Amino acid sequence: MGNSISHHIAAMTVRAFAGTANNGAEFSLLGNPCCVTAWAEATDAVPEAGEVTQCYTWPTAAGAASVSCWGPNGLPIKLCGHGLMSCGTVLSRSGVPVQTLNMNDTTAQFEHSNSISWVGLPPLEIFHCGVPDWVQELFQQQPASAATAGQSDDYLILAWPADFPLQELAFPTHLGRHTQRAVIATCLDTTPSGFDIHFRYFAPQYSSVEDAATGSAMRVLADYWQPQRGDSLRAWQCSPQGGELLSRREPEITWVGGHMLCENGEGADEES
């Protein structure tokens, strides 16, 4: 388990990217839950595997903190968008304001105001490509276009025509036989819903069968859809739990944001 430290600042569950559905029911989009423990000092302790993402965070300097996250399978996560946002939120609400969060080799900017948090990361370059032949084996309804982002084990974007019902797509079984990239299925929303885009995120080869709400995917889509939708987006991740994600683009940084619903925990009061 490693060497733990004497005490923590706060411990709570955060639902990142909680939102409201079209019917206006508050928090009907449940977001992506994350159990956060904010330590007073650095720790090499590892949490027990749980049903949701587990994150540890601790301040490293004025305005800065480190973040480590583990998936429900107990394996460490290379870059966790909702984990970064959840850790920054818990620290800020506990009287430890932060502007930068460090996770492995990545440094993210952080902003928090009321119940909305933002994480800023360098943009990933998008490379448009043809739809791979093997995609026909995974989906009965075929996407119209494709692109990649990041390294060879990062992201494959599959775009369907506008207003396509992504929630009806069958889960792509055996995805790992064809690619080491996570698949982001997406389409434009041209209805009066208030959303600009929809998407789903699949990475079963990394034990993430389908993410509830995925900040790292929204980072990619902010750049992918910018030519059609501009520098600010509101997205519905139409997973079974559902999430509402925001993005805004600046010259050297892509911001991903959303409502952070903090459930009762130790060390910080519930925020209205």
Specify whether 132 is located in the same domain as 211. Answer: yes
- Return d(Cα 4, Cα 161) in angstroms, integer: 50
Specify whether 135 is located in the same domain as 85. Answer: no
Specify whether 139 is located in the same domain as 85. Answer: no
Number of domains, the chain: 2
The three-class DSSP label of residue 150 is coil
Amino acid letter at 17?
F
pTM (predicted TM-score): 0.89
Specify whether 76 is located in the same domain as 163. Answer: no
Specify whether 171 is located in the same domain as 98. Answer: no
CATH number at residue 94: 3.10.310.10
**What pLDDT does 120 receive?**
97
**What pLDDT does 22 receive?**
52
Ordered mean pLDDT values, 10 residues apiece, the chain (272 residues): 61 88 57 94 89 94 96 87 95 94 95 90 95 93 96 94 95 88 96 95 78 93 96 94 94 95 61 34
**What pLDDT does 73 receive?**
83
**What pLDDT does 49 receive?**
83
Q: What is the dihedral of CA 254, 126, 106, 181, to 10 degrees?
A: 130
Q: Cβ contacts of residue 76 below 8 Å, gap of 6+?
A: 68, 69, 70
**What pLDDT does 3 receive?**
45
- Return d(Cα 119, Cα 112) in angstroms, integer: 9
CA angle 211/217/223 to nearest 5° reads 165
Cβ atoms of residues 11 and 52 within 8 Å: no
Identify whether 271 is part of a domain: no
Specify whether 104 is located in the same domain as 162. Answer: no
Identify whether 3 is part of a domain: no
**What pLDDT does 209 receive?**
77
Specify whether 32 is located in the same domain as 145. Answer: no
Structural domain span for residue 18? 8-122+257-262
**What pLDDT does 23 receive?**
47
How many CA atoms lie less than 13 Å away from 144 in the CB half-sphere?
A: 9
